[in-house]
């Protein structure tokens, strides 16, 4: 193989690409993919009771570790990873893989620290957890609205943009129609099937993504002569046309180091170790899209097992995406590594650079007929798995946090209908966003994704960590820390977008806060500011009664007593001040009757709303109810039965051997992550 290896240097000619389009074999593979995914989606729809919140948004809390782990992985790995990671790898080397390996450690934090508390508290959404922990509605509403905005304008836009690049480059289809078709298919089984359909189709798509990505990786390494040839050939991948007396177009000297210079590195090592961790805790431990999968697990051991599985799969993107992008630079040096705005404009239509096209170009060049269709199916799978996860989680946030505030007495069926309608709205907004994505298709979008996270995520991370570990933390401290921290981050973000970054070889006249403070360092500074604000305000305001913190903090997660909702405690306090003592509580936390909270009402299997007699329903109504899951038979439960069911759902005790297995697996994963960082440091 070595004798036929192509080594590209500054005087080489790039190999020609085949014209865009698909062979019959490619089309057959893609059709088979859609048949499998729709089949899995329909099977999941029939398997799960989709007529209540517990079934639709949490898949009946009956998912085992394997689907949980596969869904965690595929929900995270979108088309933006294939395009963005490969492009960043082509431009700057392997350091961007640190974002993926850091997740191995953060997933341990999710499974062993945050998931037990979320499950024990009985919540459905992350804003709901903050409401249960601190009381009031303003934090919950603020975080729900912020999450929906971030979903639409970062996650959805990034994945659609990446998928658009691949579809346009590989197939030559009309971009707008292709994305509309993908969104329509995605919405079909997400709206009808709920989280169960999303999780099980994610599992199938994980197999497709891993198999396709590994085949692409093997063929790519084989083309350049093997893994041991990558460093030499990448460092020699220098484009012909470069600005004189600059380093533009040259590979970075530290391209094969994950941990880089703390002052001048593009990803300084303190930021990689600590700054990325702050952002990762927000994404993996407090974001609805990810946490919702662990809440769907049948018990805590299965949730932990899913976290371990997803963490071990996160080893792969460095090799399947980052290094494959570097190989693309080796083969297509002059186009992928173009160093002047004029050249880049001629190559891909963007003066900012063409590295985003690294993965798509290599697929076209290196994959034979049939396998090219498999890689297109991989891109579609990554796009659809991310979008389905976002649609379902966004619908959960809107239905459980916003709509129940607007309509506190909404029936189960109303909540199900609203959740599905909101998904349709999300699909419509996504389609309307496509032209705006094309405007931003200048090579800069993926450079900003991680920095946007550093500007907005640290305040959320800080308040969640303090909520879990500091019982003294109260609602005013959380609210003002979150708001003021977010304002600081938004100011930095506005400056970043308004001033931009200087082109290669140009002087940097930006303020010091932009030019000298890396966004990962800013993430640490912002987290510290939020912490100081929250602590100061908390210490100046009254604490929360300990009865209201049962199963809501790390220290109280194992308590079996009933929790007194903060609202009830406040009402009780006011009643005492007004001279009313018959408030339903005797002051003993072991005997106090806790009012049924919103999440318990929503998790209840029975729907007490008036049901239409099934025999009197018209045929179209029966078909509609069956399609949406409303035709499910629902058993009436007494309050005692509902309470027993709720205690089972919030139980975080583990059996001996499953707990040992997942703990050992977690230690192995942690050691693997540390080894990888040390080996590539």
- Average pLDDT in the 120-138 region? 88
Comparing 234 with 398, the larger pLDDT belongs to: 234
Contact call for residues 94 and 680 (beta carbons, < 8 A): yes
Determine the average pLDDT of the residues in 24-39: 82
pLDDT at 603: 43
pLDDT digits (tens, 9 = 90+) for 365-403: 888 888 888 887 777 777 777 777 777 777 778 887 788
Q: pLDDT value at position 619?
A: 62
The whole-chain average pLDDT of the chain stands at 79
Kindly indicate the confidence band of residue 622, based on its pLDDT and cuts at 50, 70 and 90.
low
Which of 625 and 521 is assigned the larger pLDDT? 521
Q: What are the residue ranges of helices labelled H in 297-370?
A: 300-313, 317, 323-331, 333-336, 341-348, 358-366
* CA separation for the pair 156, 79 (Å, rounded): 10
Handedness of CA 376, 377, 382, 385 (dihedral sign): positive
Please tell me which of 127-141, 231-245, 312-326, 410-424 the model is most confident about, judged by mean pLDDT. 312-326
The span from the CA of 42 to the CA of 188, in Å, is 10
CB-based contacts of 668: which residues, under 8 Å, 6+ apart?
none
Given a cut of 70, whether residue 409 has pLDDT beyond it is yes
pLDDT at residue number 214: 93
What mean pLDDT do residues 478-492 have? 93
Give the range with max mean pLDDT: 63-72, 572-581, 630-639: 63-72
Lowest-confidence segment of 158-167, 209-218, 557-566 by average pLDDT? 158-167
| pLDDT per residue as tens digits for the range 68-81 | 999 899 888 877 78
Contacts of 208 (CB under 8 A, 6+ apart): 33, 374, 377, 378, 381
Assign residue 387 a region (left: φ > 0; alpha: ψ between -120 and 50; beta: otherwise).
alpha
- Which of helix, strand or coil describes residue 605? coil
Question: What local confidence, expressed as pLDDT, does residue 555 receive?
Answer: 94
Helix axis angle for 79-92 and 445-469, nearest 10°, is 110
Is the model's pLDDT at 205 over the cut of 90?
no
The number of angstroms, rounded, from the C-alpha of 89 to the middle of its chain's C-alpha atoms is 21
- Residue 599 has a pLDDT of 46
CA 412-388-183 angle, to 5 degrees, is 110
- Distance of alpha carbon 348 from alpha carbon 361, whole angstroms: 11
Half-sphere exposure of 491 (CA within 13 A, CB side): 9
The more confidently predicted of residues 361 and 444 is 361
Pure H helices in 48-137: 53-58, 65-76, 79-92, 98-109, 115-121, 126-134
Most confident option among 9-13, 161-165, 491-495, 592-596: 491-495
Statement: residue 474 has pLDDT above 90? yes
Q: Give the start-to-end residue ranges of the domains of the chain.
A: 2-46+60-543+660-679, 562-593
pLDDT band at 602 (very low <50, low <70, confident <90, very high): very low
The dihedral over CA atoms of 620, 622, 626, 627, expressed in degrees to the nearest 10, equals 10
Beta strands in 299-427 (DSSP E): none
Average confidence (pLDDT) over 315-343: 91
What pLDDT score does 49 carry?
56
pLDDT at 438: 56
pLDDT in tens, 174-200: 666 666 766 666 666 566 555 666 777
How many residues make up the chain in this entry? 681
pLDDT of residue 28: 86
Question: pLDDT band at residue 458, thresholds of 50, 70 and 90?
Answer: very high
Q: What is the pTM of this model?
A: 0.83
Percent of the chain with pLDDT over 90: 32
pLDDT at 590: 37
- How do residues 487-544 score in pLDDT, each as one tens digit? 999 999 888 877 777 777 677 778 888 888 888 999 999 999 999 999 999 999 999 9
Residue 322 has pLDDT above 90, yes or no: yes
Confidence tier at 60 by pLDDT (50, 70, 90): low
Q: Which residue has tokens 């009956």?
A: 62
How far are the Cα atoms of 82, 296, 520, 614 from residue 78, in angstroms, in the given order? 7, 21, 22, 42
Question: What's the pLDDT score for residue 478?
Answer: 95
Q: Specify the pLDDT at position 175.
A: 61
How confident is the model at residue 591, as a pLDDT?
Answer: 38
Worst-scoring range by mean pLDDT, 109-118, 312-321, 476-485, 582-591?
Answer: 582-591
Poorest-pLDDT segment among 124-133, 378-387, 529-538, 560-569: 378-387
In the CATH scheme, what architecture does the domain 2-46+60-543+660-679 have?
Up-down Bundle (1.20)
Give the pLDDT confidence of 579-597 residue by residue, as tens digits.
Answer: 655 444 443 433 343 344 4
pLDDT tens column, 268-301: 999 999 999 999 999 999 988 888 889 888 889 9
Q: How far apart are CA 144 and CA 323, in angstroms?
A: 37
């Amino acid at each position: 193989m070595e004798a036929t290896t192509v080594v590209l240097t500054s005087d080489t000619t790039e190999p020609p690409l085949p014209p865009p389009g698909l062979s019959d074999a490619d089309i057959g593979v893609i059709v088979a993919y859609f048949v499998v995914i729709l089949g899995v989606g329909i099977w999941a729809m029939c398997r799960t009771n989709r007529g209540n919140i517990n079934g639709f948004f949490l898949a009946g809390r009956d998912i085992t570790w394997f689907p949980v782990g596969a869904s965690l992985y595929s929900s995270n790995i979108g088309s933006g990873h294939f395009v963005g990671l490969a492009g960043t790898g082509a431009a700057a080397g392997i350091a961007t893989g640190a974002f993926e390996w850091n997740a191995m450690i953060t997933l341990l934090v999710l499974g062993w620290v945050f998931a037990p508390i979320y499950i024990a508290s009985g919540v459905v959404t992350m804003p709901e957890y903050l409401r249960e922990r601190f009381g009031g509605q303003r934090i919950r509403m603020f975080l729900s609205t912020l999450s929906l905005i971030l979903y639409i304008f970062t996650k959805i836009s990034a994945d659609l943009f990446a998928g658009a690049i691949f579809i346009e480059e590989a197939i030559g289809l009309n971009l707008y129609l292709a994305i509309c078709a993908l969104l329509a298919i995605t919405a079909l089984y997400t709206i009808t099937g709920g989280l169960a359909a999303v999780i099980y189709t994610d599992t199938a798509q994980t197999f497709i993504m891993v198999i396709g990505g590994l085949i692409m990786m093997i063929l790519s390494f084989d083309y350049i002569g093997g893994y041991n040839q990558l460093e030499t050939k990448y460092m020699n991948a220098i484009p012909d046309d470069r600005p004189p007396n600059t380093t533009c177009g040259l590979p970075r000297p530290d391209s094969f180091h994950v941990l880089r210079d703390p002052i001048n590195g593009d990803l300084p090592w303190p930021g990689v170790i600590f700054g990325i961790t702050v952002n990762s805790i927000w994404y993996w431990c407090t974001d609805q899209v990810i946490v919702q999968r662990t809440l769907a697990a049948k018990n805590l051991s299965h949730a932990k097992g899913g976290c371990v599985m997803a963490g071990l799969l996160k080893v792969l993107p460095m090799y399947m995406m980052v290094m494959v992008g570097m190989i693309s630079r080796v083969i297509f040096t002059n186009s992928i590594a173009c160093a002047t705005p004029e050249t880049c404009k001629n190559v891909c239509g963007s003066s900012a650079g063409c590295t985003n096209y690294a993965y798509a170009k290599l697929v076209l060049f290196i994959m034979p007929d049939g396998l090219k269709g498999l890689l297109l199916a991989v891109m579609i799978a990554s796009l659809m798995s991310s979008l389905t996860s976002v649609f379902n989680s966004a619908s959960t946030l809107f239905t459980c946090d916003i709509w129940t505030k607007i309509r506190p007495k909404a029936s189960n069926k109303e909540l199900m209908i609203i959740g599905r309608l909101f998904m349709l709205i999300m699909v419509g907004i996504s389609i309307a966003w496509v032209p705006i994505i094309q405007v931003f298709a200048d090579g800069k979008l993926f450079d900003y994704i991680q920095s946007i996270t550093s500007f907005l995520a640290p305040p959320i991370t800080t308040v969640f960590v303090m909520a879990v570990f500091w019982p003294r933390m109260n609602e005013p401290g959380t609210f003002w820390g979150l708001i003021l921290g977010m304002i600081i981050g938004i100011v930095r973000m506005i400056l970043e977008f308004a001033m931009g970054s200087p082109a290669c070889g140009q002087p940097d006249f930006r303020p010091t806060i932009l030019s000298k403070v890396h966004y990962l360092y800013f993430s640490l500074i912002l987290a510290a500011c939020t912490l100081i604000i929250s602590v100061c305000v908390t210490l100046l305001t009254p604490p929360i009664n300990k009865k209201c913190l049962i199963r809501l903090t790390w220290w109280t997660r194992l308590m079996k007593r009933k929790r007194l909702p903060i609202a009830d405690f406040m009402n009780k306090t006011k009643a005492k001040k007004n001279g009313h003592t018959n408030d339903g509580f005797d002051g003993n936390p072991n005997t106090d009757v806790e009012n049924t909270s919103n999440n318990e009402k929503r998790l209840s299997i029975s729907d007490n709303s008036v049901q239409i007699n099934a025999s009197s329903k018209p045929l179209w109504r029966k078909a509609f109810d069956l399609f949406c899951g409303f035709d499910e038979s629902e058993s009436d439960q007494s309050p005692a039965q509902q309470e027993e069911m709720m205690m089972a759902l919030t139980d975080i005790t583990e059996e001996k051997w499953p707990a040992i297995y997942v703990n050992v697996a977690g230690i192995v994963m942690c050691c693997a992550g540390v080894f990888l960082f040390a080996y590539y440091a």
